[in-house]
Each structure stands twice: as structure tokens, then as C-alpha cells.
Amino acid sequence: MASIRKRNDKWQAQVRRTGHSPRAKSFQSRADAQRWVRQTELELDRLALAYDPARLERTTVGDLLTRYRDEVTPHKRGAASETKRIEVFLREEWASLTLARIAPLAFTKHRDRRLREVKPGTVIRELGLLHAVFEVARREWDIPLTENPIANVRKPRAATGRQRRLQSNELEALLSACELGRSDWLTVGIQFAIETGMRRGEILNVRFQDVDFKLGLLTVPETKTDIPRTIPLTLAAIDLLKLRTEACTTPAERLFPTTANAFRLAWERCRRRASCLVPSVADLRFHDLRHEAVSRFFELGLSVPEVAAISGHKDPRMLFRYTHLKAVDIGTKLRALHEGTLA
């Protein structure tokens, strides 16, 4: 159904079709409005021939989630965690709604409820996954959705990036706690993270063949950005890796032979023991060691491109989130420069 009417010295045309959102546009002349109506109706008719709108009545949101979990998720590096997240989605009431009935309001309510339970960052990731599911359905599975229902759902404001760095005696407390545990690789893992700024997953994937001890270089084949990089190693980092290579028998053997979950549990046990010595450690995350490492690189005088080459950051804005130099150290440097100028 189409309609054309004059409004505020312009001709407003509108086209309605079942299964599609109304389309409207304003023109200077009635002839242009009529021409646009004919073109729009032809376009919507072609879409109706290509797609079966009745599929929206037969398909539920849960059907899309299940197909995405089975066909798309397995090819991702974080498949395990994403699968668990989708399983939680499938238990939501809105998962049983058909695509003909689903609307942004259902996900707006989901967002508001989740914000009372978890942090904004978690909700943003959940909405991002749902958006991806609907986009794949629209673009690759020929599901006749006129728009992505998540596109109009306002995302919560992300929390300010953490500025956590190691405080006095925290590292010593962690290393002491490691000695009481059974994971002999954790002590090296903690120190190595501070020396390189590598992520936990990157550290766990380090193999004997990736290390060039002569040149002091380490190749990181699997990264968060899917772009391999080669980083220079400090003398301390080289010594730490030598401790791990003593037990290696093949070039492809990993220097930290454990799973991500086992590493996480070992870290949490270590942190609990360390918090008995230094209470502030209870707030420390393993990823904060990457923050500490990047900040130390800058304090050593490395430039932004040099630090980015080590850390793997592609966006300088993200890099600066990890860079919180100690004001006392900056003040000392400024005074030294001032005194040198006066001299």
C-alpha cells in the first residue's frame, strides 16, 4: 500500500508492505514522489519473491542461537566461553519468541535486568554477540529480517578502564605464595607477564621453537588480534624462559604445559594466599600484570611505536589505557631536567 500527501511544501510518500518496515521519503514534486513509490514497490516485491516472510513465524530466536552455536561459534578461538553464553541465552524467555514477534523492547529489558546483576562490560559483550547472531542470519542465512533488533538497543556506558598497577610488596607476596603451591610454572608465568606484557593466552601458547635465545626474540604466533608478532625479550625474560626449556624434549612443546582454566585456578589460589600477607592483592587480576608491564616500558623511555610492537596494540588510544605512569617518577624526571638546564 502506498500513499502520497503534501506536507510543509513537500510531497511525502510512504510505502507499506507486510513483513517490512514502512518506508517514507519527501520530495519537491509529486512526480518524483510517484516515481520513488513505483521503484520502492518493485524492490519490495522482488524481496518478497526472494524470501519467504512466513519463515519469521516459524523460526524462533532460539533457533538462530542454536544454529549460530553449532555452525559459527566452533570456528572462533573463544568457542568454549561463547558456547556457554549462548546456552544461557537459550534459557531466556525471549529465546522462545518467533522472529515475527521479536522486538528491541525484549532486549532492552534484558539489558536493564543484566545491569543489576553484572558489570556494563559484560552486558556490552552479550549485546555484541546477539547483534552478530542476527547479522549472520540476515546476511548469510537469508532470514527475511528487515533490520537487526539489537541495532536500536542502546548499549550501556562502559566502565572506565582499570588503572591498577602493582603496589608495594604485592609482587613479593605473590611469589612467596607461589612457593606454597603445586604449580611450578606459575612463578615464572607471573614474572614473565611483567617482563613482556603478554596476555595469559599468549603466554600459554609459547613453544620452545618460538624462542630465539641468540637474538633474544620471541615469536607470538597466536594473538588476540590474529596478527602474529615478534617481540624483543629482556635479559630477565630470557632467563625465565630458560628455566622452562629445561624440561622440553621437542621443539613444538609448550613451555607452560597447562590449560587456561588450570592457570586461572592456580592464579586465584595464589592470590588468596598472597592476600593474607598483603591484603591489597585480593583486588589484583592477572591481566593487571600486562598493565604493569606496559607502564614500565614507558617509564624506561620507550616510544609509543616501540611499546606497541611489544604489546601488540594496534590502536594508540587502547595502548594509553594501559599507560598510567607514576606521578612521582615523572616529577623526579622533570626536576632532573630542570636542574640540568640550570647547570
21 or 81, greater pLDDT = 81
The three cell numbers of residue 139 are: 546476511
CATH topology of domain 170-334: hpI Integrase; Chain A (1.10.443)
The set of residues, in sequence order, having a beta carbon less than 8 Å from that of 278 and lying 6+ positions away, is: 167, 169, 170, 173
165-208 confidence digits (pLDDT tens): 888 899 999 999 988 877 788 999 999 999 998 989 889 888 88
Read off the pLDDT of each residue in 40-64 and give the average, rounded to a whole number: 75
pLDDT band (50, 70, 90) for residue 126: very high
**What whole-number distance in Å separates Cα of residue 229 and Cα of residue 213?**
16
CA distances (Å), 68 to each of 5, 90, 120, 138, 325, in order?
44, 12, 24, 12, 43
Q: Would you kindly state where each structural domain of the chain is located, as residue ranges? A: 2-50, 60-139, 170-334
Whether residue 87 is predicted with pLDDT greater than 80 in this model: the reply is yes
- Return the pLDDT at 192: 93
φ and ψ of 23, to 5 deg = -115, 135
In the three-class reduction of DSSP (H, G, I as helix; E, B as strand; rest coil), residue 329 is classed as: helix
**What whole-number distance in Å separates Cα of residue 149 and Cα of residue 179?**
52
The full DSSP string for 212-275 is ETTTTEEEE-S-TTS--EEEE--HHHHHHHHHHHTT--STT-BSS-S-HHHHHHHHHHHHHHHH
Which of 219-228's residues contact partners 24+ apart within 8 Å by CB, and which partners?
220/312, 222/77, 223/199, 223/312, 224/199, 224/312, 225/312, 225/314, 227/312, 227/314
pLDDT band (50, 70, 90) for residue 59: confident
294-310 confidence digits (pLDDT tens): 888 888 888 888 888 88
> Which residues does the annotation mark as catalytic?
199, 224, 287, 290, 313, 322
- Return the pLDDT at 337: 75
pLDDT band (50, 70, 90) for residue 20: low
φ and ψ of 194, to 5 deg = -70, -35
**What whole-number distance in Å separates Cα of residue 243 and Cα of residue 246?**
6
CB 224 within 8 A of CB 199: yes
To which residue does cell 544454529 refer?
67
Please name the amino acid found at residue 297: F
Mean of per-residue pLDDT scores for the chain: 85
Which of 50-59's residues contact partners 24+ apart within 8 Å by CB, and which partners?
50/142, 51/142, 51/144, 52/144, 53/18, 53/19, 53/144, 55/99, 55/143, 55/144, 56/19, 56/98, 56/99, 56/100, 56/143, 56/144, 56/145, 57/98, 57/99, 57/100, 58/98, 59/98, 59/99, 59/143
Give the residues across from 211 on adjacent strands.
Answer: 218
Whether residue 51 is predicted with pLDDT greater than 60 in this model: the reply is no
- Considering the chain, what percentage of its residues have pLDDT values greater than 90? 31
Whether residue 267 is predicted with pLDDT greater than 70 in this model: the reply is yes
In the three-class reduction of DSSP (H, G, I as helix; E, B as strand; rest coil), residue 85 is classed as: helix
The full DSSP string for 31-47 is HHHHHHHHHHHHHHHHH
